[in-house]
Amino acid sequence: MTIKITRKIKGYNVKRPDGGAAEASAAAPTEPQAEVIQMHERLERPGVLVGATYKIKSPLFEHALYVTINDIVLNAGTPHESRRPFEIFINSKNMDHFQWIVALTRIMSAVFRKGGDVTFLVEELKAVFDPRGGYFKPGGTYMPSIVAELGLIVEQHLKSIGMIKDSEISEAQRALINEKRAAYEATLKAPGAAHDVGAGEAGGYPAGATLCPKCNTSAVVLMDGCATCLACGYSKCG
C-alpha cells in the first residue's frame, strides 16, 4: 500500500519507542499529517518480501537449521519508512521436531504481524534452556538451547533493521578491552611466566578463560586480581 502525498511536506515527527514524538522541525503541530501505516494483522502480504536467511549449526542437531525472516517495508519513500519483520520460516533436513518448529514459527509470524513491540520475543526465546544441556557456539558463546539461538538470530535481525538499538560497547570501551587483552597476553609471553599459552582457543580467547555471566562467552580472565571479560568488558570490580 502506498500513500500519495498531495501537499508539500513542511515537517515531520520521529516516533520514539516510548510513545513520545520528537519534533524534527519547527513546523506547526496543527499541520495535518498523511496517514502513517502501522503494522497490524490485516495488512496484506505483498507478493515479494525482502529478508535474510541465517544458519544454525548445533551439536544437538545432526543437520543445520536455516532460519528465514522476511520483512515488510511500511511507508516506503516517506519519512515514516520502516522495516518490520513479517514472517519467519525454519528449514531443516531434520524432521524430528517438525511439528514444534512449525508451531513455533507460525506463532512467531502471527506475533510479528500483530505489530507493536515484538522485541520481547528475543528475551523469551533466549531464556529457554534445554534440560539435556546446551552447547558452545564457535567464538565461545554458550547457548542454553537451540531455541535460545533462535532468539539470538531474531535479535540480530531486529538489530539489522533498526528495531533494537545496538547496545554494542562504545569505541572507547572496546579500546580499553583490547588494551586489557594485550596486557594479559603480554603477561603470558613474559619470560618466566608459568602460564600455559593456549593461543587459538575457541574465538581466540586465552585457554582457561571462564564463562562470562553477562555475555555467556568463555572470555573471563584474571587481570590484576580482577575477573575481566575480554569479549564484553564485564568486570567483577566494576
Determine, following the binding rule CB under 5 A, whether residue 230 of this chain makes contact with Zn ion.
no
**Sign of the C-alpha dihedral, residues 221, 204, 213, 144?**
negative
For the chain, the C-alpha Rg in angstroms (whole number) is 23
Q: Rank residues 115 and 203 by Cβ distance to Zn ion and give the closer one.
A: 203
**Sign of the C-alpha dihedral, residues 169, 172, 197, 192?**
negative
Could you tell me the smallest distance in angstroms from the CB atom of residue 235 to Zn ion? Answer: 9
**Binding piece for Zn ion, criterion CB under 5 A, among 106-114, 164-172, 185-193, 215-223:** 215-223
Residue listed under C-alpha cell 619470560: 191
Q: Which long-range contacts (CB under 8 A, 24 or more apart) does 22-25 make?
A: 24/79
Q: Which of 112, 135, 205, 234 lies at the binding interface for Zn ion (CB under 5 A)?
A: 234
Q: Rank residues 67 and 229 by Cβ distance to Zn ion and give the closer one.
A: 229
Q: State the number of binding residues for Zn ion (CB under 5 A).
A: 7
**Burial class, 68, CB count within 10 angstroms (exposed 0-12 / middle 13-18 / buried 19+):** middle
70 forms beta bridges with 51, 87
Q: Rank residues 107 and 222 by Cβ distance to Zn ion and give the closer one.
A: 222
Residue listed under C-alpha cell 534445554: 130
Q: What is the DSSP letter of 148?
A: H
Determine, following the binding rule CB under 5 A, whether residue 231 of this chain makes contact with Zn ion.
yes
- CB–CB of 218/202 below 8 Å? yes
Determine, following the binding rule CB under 5 A, whether residue 177 of this chain makes contact with Zn ion.
no
Determine, following the binding rule CB under 5 A, whether residue 214 of this chain makes contact with Zn ion.
yes
Q: Which of 88, 153, 158, 229 lies at the binding interface for Zn ion (CB under 5 A)?
A: 229
Q: Which of 153, 212, 221, 228 lies at the binding interface for Zn ion (CB under 5 A)?
A: 212
**Binding piece for Zn ion, criterion CB under 5 A, among 141-149, 160-168, 191-199, 206-214:** 206-214
Report the distance separating Cα 60 and Cα 63, nearest Å: 9
Q: Rank residues 101 and 212 by Cβ distance to Zn ion and give the closer one.
A: 212
Determine, following the binding rule CB under 5 A, whether residue 37 of this chain makes contact with Zn ion.
no
**Binding piece for Zn ion, criterion CB under 5 A, among 31-39, 62-70, 84-92, 212-220:** 212-220
Closest CA to 87 of 32, 126, 129, 44: 44
Residues constituting the chain = 238
Determine, following the binding rule CB under 5 A, whether residue 207 of this chain makes contact with Zn ion.
no
Determine, following the binding rule CB under 5 A, whether residue 118 of this chain makes contact with Zn ion.
no
Binding site for Zn ion (CB under 5 A): 212, 214-215, 229, 231-232, 234
